[in-house]
């Protein structure tokens, strides 16, 4: 079979995939900007690996469009052949859960601040400094997780290990876990008002666009910290900015955004509103799931599905 890795993101997963395949295949790559040569390659491909696909680009022979990622909001299914199977890949949940816990712990255990102060001879956080040096504990917090998929479950497991009160809001019922409370998405605001930390893990779909809006932030406690490791568009941009600027919530840690660069070397603002001017937000460049472990697990999924397609077996994570 002919396998084409389409775009810079997909090419990141190419090294090592051939070693995971049972039999050799013709493997090539094309850039994000599709010229006639790249279009001919895509039309001839049996399998395309990529994170985006939209008209007028075509893939006339494709049997499988394999995402090396979980999100599929940049793929127009109707631009692919009707018989083409579309599958995604996970494997990022452990990395994202570590990011979430690290971001939260940094608010309770100020290692960098303590290090900088002690290098200057200051013992401000010493136990001997008395009550003014007391820290809060992450385990005393209640966390509300929006979405109970791969990421939501991984975050919940780690939060529970810290002794946190875990609340979950999900579209479908959650019955196999022991949480402090479980809510439907139609009860989301009830959960938001009951916790100290809110983490969005939802993907972007027609039903989740701007799900977290002005009313959602109004339901949160003023000391609440909001994290987004799902998709930027799930959170209304103006609502998030105004909640922070007006200090309706204590702060935010945002990893997924509203606008992305075409290449990593080009300076690019991630939103229309100037979040970078706010002091109560931590901004990271969609890095939470990007680890060598994530790449290896997704490479295994890509190779597995190519082998399954070759052997005529059911594919994993099929979306259509």
The CATH code belonging to domain 2-91+292-311 is 3.40.50.720
**Residue 10 preceded by cis peptide, ω within 30:** no
Stretch 125-133: mean pLDDT, rounded?
96
pLDDT for the residue numbered 157? 97
User: Is the pLDDT at 129 greater than 90, yes or no?
Assistant: yes
pLDDT for the residue numbered 176? 78
Residue 195, phi then psi, degrees to nearest 5: -130, 170
Residue 164, phi then psi, degrees to nearest 5: -75, 150
Residue ranges matching CATH 3.40.50.720 in the chain: 2-91+292-311, 93-283
User: Is the pLDDT at 102 greater than 90, yes or no?
Assistant: yes
Stretch 283-303: mean pLDDT, rounded?
97
Confidence of residue 249 (pLDDT cuts 50, 70, 90): very high
Stretch 257-268: mean pLDDT, rounded?
91
Confidence of residue 221 (pLDDT cuts 50, 70, 90): very high
* 121: three-class secondary structure by DSSP: coil
Distance CA 79, CA 245 (A): 41
Stretch 55-59: mean pLDDT, rounded?
97
Which sign, positive or negative, has the C-alpha torsion 256, 262, 264, 269?
Answer: negative
Stretch 92-107: mean pLDDT, rounded?
98
User: Is the pLDDT at 177 greater than 90, yes or no?
Assistant: no
DSSP-derived letter for residue 286 is S
CB–CB of 7/31 below 8 Å?
Answer: yes
The angle subtended at Cα 165 by Cα 162 and Cα 169, nearest 5°, is 120
Stretch 1-10: mean pLDDT, rounded?
97
Distance CA 105, CA 195 (A): 16
Pairing outcome for strands 181-184 and 197-200: unpaired
Stretch 173-187: mean pLDDT, rounded?
93
- Tell me which architecture the domain covering 93-283 has in CATH: 3-Layer(aba) Sandwich (3.40)
Confidence of residue 35 (pLDDT cuts 50, 70, 90): very high
Question: pTM to 2 decimals?
Answer: 0.92
pLDDT for the residue numbered 208? 96
User: Is the pLDDT at 263 greater than 90, yes or no?
Assistant: no
């Amino acid at each position: 079979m002919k396998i084409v890795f389409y775009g810079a993101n997909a090419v990141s997963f190419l090294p090592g995939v051939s070693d995971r395949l049972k039999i050799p295949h013709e493997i090539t790559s094309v850039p994000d900007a599709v010229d006639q040569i790249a279009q001919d390659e895509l039309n001839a491909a049996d399998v395309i690996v990529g994170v985006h696909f939209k008209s007028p680009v075509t893939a006339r022979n494709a049997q499988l469009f394999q995402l090396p990622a979980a999100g599929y909001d940049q793929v127009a299914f109707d631009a692919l052949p009707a018989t083409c199977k579309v599958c995604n890949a996970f494997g990022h949940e452990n990395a994202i859960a570590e990011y979430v816990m690290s971001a939260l712990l940094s608010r309770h255990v100020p290692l960098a601040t303590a290090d900088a102060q002690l290098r200057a001879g200051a013992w401000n956080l010493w136990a001997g400094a008395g009550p003014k040096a007391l820290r809060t504990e992450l385990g005393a917090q209640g966390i509300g997780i929006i979405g109970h998929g791969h990421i939501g479950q991984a975050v919940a497991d780690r939060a529970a290990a810290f002794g946190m009160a875990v609340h979950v809001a999900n579209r479908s019922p959650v019955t196999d876990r022991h949480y402090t409370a479980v809510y439907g998405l139609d009860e989301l605001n009830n959960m938001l008002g009951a916790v100290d930390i809110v983490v969005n893990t939802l993907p972007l779909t027609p039903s989740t666009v701007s799900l977290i809006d002005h009313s959602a932030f109004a339901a949160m406690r003023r000391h609440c910290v909001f994290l987004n490791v799902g998709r930027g568009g799930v959170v209304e941009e103006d609502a998030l900015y105004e909640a922070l600027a007006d200090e309706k919530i204590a702060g935010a840690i945002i990893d997924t955004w509203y606008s992305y660069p075409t290449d990593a070397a080009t300076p690019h603002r991630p939103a229309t509103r100037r979040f970078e001017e706010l002091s109560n937000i931590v901004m990271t460049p969609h890095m939470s799931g990007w680890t060598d472990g994530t790449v290896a697990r997704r490479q295994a999924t890509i190779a597995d599905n190519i082998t399954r397609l070759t052997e005529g077996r059911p594919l994993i994570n099929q979306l259509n």
